[in-house]
Homo-oligomer: A and B are copies of this chain.
């Protein structure tokens, strides 16, 4: 947690520091991020930094808190689709709304994602909690969907959750990666082409790659 000193700061200065930290993590990841560069780019002194935060991890955790809070705020103003759409409709809504959110602060999202999905995998406990939480949510969703007959009851719930989580990350990342090079990322995300890409990916997740119409004949009994 950042110390009180930091929270007392005038908004503008605080934001400058936060922005410098975001830039640093987005560019270098966690391990290679340099506090020296952060203080240089935000125009504060080294001593001040250590009066604001304990260490590098402390700033990063603060950024995670910020994004979590902003996300909650953002999703509050949105209404989920009618429950009749089921898990796939809900998931699609989540991804698309999530992308709208990501567009509002793409660099921060990219920074967090880079650390969590990259180095985070090898950092043990610290980041695992986040991962576990989303996995648990997904498993619950899947259990409901199974009861509604929406998801094949024979697929393992944990496996399905992994699939959905992976999917979500792959989509977000690729969209963010490309979108950050556009002038107006919000507009670009809303583009029919981008929306179609999301739909295509989710459709594959839902129905698979196989061509059901043509393959049902020569398939039977052939696979091991």
Contacts and interface: CB of A to CB of B under 8 A. Distances in A.
Interface string A9-33: 0000000000000000000010110
A210 B152 contact: yes
Given A153-B211, A155-B200, A29 B223 contact: no
Contacts of A219: 86
Q: Which of A151, A164, A174 has the most CB of B within 10 A?
A: A151
A78 interface: no
B206 A209 contact: yes
A211 B119 contact: no
Contact of A170 (B155, B162, B200, B207): B162
Interface in A109-147: 114, 118-119, 121-122, 146
Interface of A: 29, 31-32, 81, 84-86, 88-89, 114, 118-119, 121-122, 146, 149-153, 155-156, 159-160, 162-164, 166, 170, 174, 197, 200-201, 203-212, 214-215, 219, 222-224
19 contacts: A29-B31, A29-B119, A32-B32, A81-B224, A85-B223, A89-B224, A118-B119, A146-B211, A149-B211, A149-B214, A151-B211, A152-B211, A152-B212, A155-B204, A155-B209, A159-B200, A159-B204, A206-B208, A207-B210
